[in-house]
Structure 1
Amino acid sequence: MKIQAAIDRVDLDKAVNLTKQISQYVDIIEWGTSLVKDFGIQRLAEKTDAFGHAQILYDSKTIDEGEYEFKAGFESKADILTVMGAASVATLKKCYQVAQNQDKTMMIDLMGLDEAQIKIILGFDQAIYCIHHSKDSGKIKNASDTAASFRASFPSVKHIAIAGGIDYANTVALAKQGIVDIAIVGSAIVKAADPVAEAKRFGKVVSDEK
């Protein structure tokens, strides 16, 4: 399992500083939707030296103009870009094709979708399907139960991420369970009194699993 640290709702200097501090301890650094909206991907791309060995994810939440947005995002050095599962199937196909052509990764944000809607957008084998409770609706209370339910409903999905208030206890349980490929951790790392110490602690969950 990988740890993705989500940095959001901060100014760009703080995002850069946080990334420099924690990127060596996590697998993926996410620069969140507010950073993409506030500063734009071209400006974010100027700061990619801060990411160290970690992969770069821009949480673009593409909903239309999939080919254009994904080409622009990957040209701006992102390794992973997000598209909303609520987008049209045509948009998802365009995003997926760009990702495949550039040997990059598409993450499908399933926020707000029910099982019937998710079934319509299955079949993107190399994409990451992200179980995501929105900030407004509250955090996932038991992430391992949520992951197990998702796996039972969608056994064909190869790559799964989970987000929504994921804390340390949830991360440990997910790592032991072995269903989820990526645990997306936001506030539990980046808003901690000592983000570096927390990044190390979460990263150790992954290293202990190997």
Structure 2
Amino acid sequence: MLKKIRKENMFLSNLGWLESRFHFSFAEYRNFDNMNFGVLRVLNDDIVHPNSGFDMHPHNDMEIVSYVVNGAITHKDSMGNEETLTRGDVQYMSAGTGVVHSEYNNSSSEDLRLLQIWILPPVKAVKPIYGSKRFQPQERANQFLNVVSSQVGEGAIKIHQDVNIYVSELQKGKNLVFDIAQERQLYFVQIEGSSRVNETQLDFGDAMEISDEKTLNITALEDAHFLFIEMKKA
């Protein structure tokens, strides 16, 4: 089953310094019929304007993955970590018993765009973990790049929950096929460009819930950049 979610039907938030498209109920968007997809609790497509960002704030009992689309994000946290990441890089936190952090766009002229992904953890009150990984463009060019997985998976970044996150930048006309294991489901995000996914067209900003399918067949209708989260079927 394929459920296309048009970007026009998502909730838009504009705080001046921050513009967000919420895929699920979050902050001022309250919708108890759209709380999650499996263990995927939050997916925000954020644009952080220059010289602004998220001041120090706490999290606990959530696995948080951020994928940088454009610009640069500077992270600081209560564990002493501080770094700046750019396009295609990934940061993650298993907040566990609690961590305080900030995320900033320190550029004076360039917007920061990132996907903020919150995954429900399999257990609570684990020791907080922060980490990141820098990826080269060729690692995701015309192929699937497994950026996040469970502790026993093959992703470059390991979290506690049983999920896989894949990204790709696919040239116009190229095709990729992903086999979906039994009792697994996917949430697909068209970050840039347009793709045909199992005969359904997705344009910039659109998303799709995919369940009870055996194969994911993706063709780039123009140069396409996408991400999907593979998880146990709810």
User: Do the two structures share a fold, i.e. TM-score over 0.5?
Assistant: no
TM-score by length of 2: 0.34
TM-score by length of 1: 0.36
Q: Which has the higher helix share?
A: 1
